[in-house]
Chains A and B, each alone.
Chain A
Amino acid sequence: MPIYSKEIIKHFKNPKNVGKIKKPSGRGEAGNILCGDIMTLYLKIEKNEKGEKIIKDVKFETLGCVVAIANTSLLTTMVKGKKLEDALKIKKEDLIKRLGQPLPPFKIHCSLLAVDALKEAIYDYYLKNKLEIPEDLEKGHQRITKTKEELEKRYKGFQAFEKEILK
Chain B
Amino acid sequence: MKKIYLDYAATTPIDPRVTKAMLPYFSEKFGNTMSLHSFGQEAKQALEESREVVANLMKAKLNEIIFTSSATESNNLALKGIAFANENKGRHIVISSIEHPCIIESAKWLEKQGFEITRLKVDKYGLVEPDDVRKAIRKETILVSIMHANNEIGTIEPIEEIGKICKEKGVYFHTDAAQSFGKILIDVNKMNIDLLTTSSHKMYGPKGAAALFIREGTKIEPLIHGGGHESGLRSSTVNVAAIVGFAEAARICQREMKIESERLTKLRNKLIKGVLQKIKGSHLNGPPASAMPKALWAGPPASAMPKALRAGPPASAMPKALRAGHPKKRLPNNINFSFPGIEGESLVMQLDLLGIAASTGSACSSEKLEPSHVLLAIGLKPEQAHGSLRLSLGRWTKEKDVDYVLEVLPKVVKRLREISPFKR
Binding site for B on A (CB under 8 A): 4, 9, 12-13, 15, 18, 29, 34-40, 61-66, 68-69, 104, 106, 109-110, 154-155, 157-166
State whether the Cβ of B280 lies closer than 8 Å to any Cβ in chain A: yes
Measured in the bound complex, the distance between the Cα atoms of B381 and A162 in whole Å is 15
**Which one, A34, A40, A66, A161, contacts B346 given CB within 8 A?**
A66
Query: Which residue of the partner chain A has the closest CB to B383?
Result: A36
Interface residue total, chain B, C-beta cutoff 8 A: 36
Measured in the bound complex, the distance between the Cα atoms of B342 and A36 in whole Å is 11
Q: Is the CB of B419 within 8 A of A66?
A: no
Q: Is the CB of B422 within 8 A of A15?
A: no
- Contacts A154-B383, A155-B383, A158-B383 hold; do A37 and B419 have CB atoms under 8 A apart? no
Q: Is the CB of A166 within 8 A of B369?
A: no
Measured in the bound complex, the distance between the Cα atoms of B367 and A66 in whole Å is 14
Report 27 cross-chain contacts, Cβ distance below 8 Å, ordered by A residue.
A12-B349, A12-B350, A34-B369, A35-B386, A36-B343, A36-B382, A38-B421, A38-B422, A39-B421, A61-B423, A62-B419, A62-B420, A63-B341, A63-B343, A64-B346, A64-B364, A66-B349, A68-B343, A106-B368, A154-B383, A155-B383, A157-B306, A158-B340, A160-B306, A161-B340, A163-B424, A165-B280
Measured in the bound complex, the distance between the Cα atoms of B421 and A29 in whole Å is 10
For A104, the chain B residues whose CB sits under 8 A away are 367
Measured in the bound complex, the distance between the Cα atoms of B343 and A142 in whole Å is 26
Q: Is the CB of B364 within 8 A of A65?
A: yes
State whether the Cβ of B363 lies closer than 8 Å to any Cβ in chain A: yes
Measured in the bound complex, the distance between the Cα atoms of B420 and A35 in whole Å is 15
Q: Is the CB of B345 within 8 A of A66?
A: yes
Chain A nearest CB, measured from B416 CB (Å): 8
Query: Which residue of the partner chain A has the closest CB to B348?
Result: A66
Which B residues from 294 to 327 make CB contacts under 8 A with A? 304-306, 309-310
For B363, the chain A residues whose CB sits under 8 A away are 34-36
Query: Which residue of the partner chain B has the closest CB to A29?
Result: B421
Binding site for A on B (CB under 8 A): 280-281, 304-306, 309-310, 340-343, 345-346, 349-350, 353, 362-365, 367-369, 371, 381-383, 386, 417-424
Q: Is the CB of B422 within 8 A of A159?
A: yes
Q: Is the CB of B382 within 8 A of A166?
A: no
Query: Which residue of the partner chain A has the closest CB to B423?
Result: A166
Q: Is the CB of B280 within 8 A of A12?
A: no
**Which one, B346, B368, B371, contacts A65 given CB within 8 A?**
B346
Q: Is the CB of A63 within 8 A of B280?
A: no
Measured in the bound complex, the distance between the Cα atoms of B423 and A68 in whole Å is 18
Q: Is the CB of B305 within 8 A of A161?
A: yes
Q: Is the CB of A162 within 8 A of B383?
A: no
Measured in the bound complex, the distance between the Cα atoms of B343 and A66 in whole Å is 9
Q: Is the CB of A106 within 8 A of B369?
A: yes
Query: Which residue of the partner chain B has the closest CB to A161?
Result: B306
Return the 8 tightest CB-CB contacts between A and B, nearest first: A161-B306, A65-B364, A165-B281, A61-B421, A65-B345, A63-B420, A162-B422, A35-B363
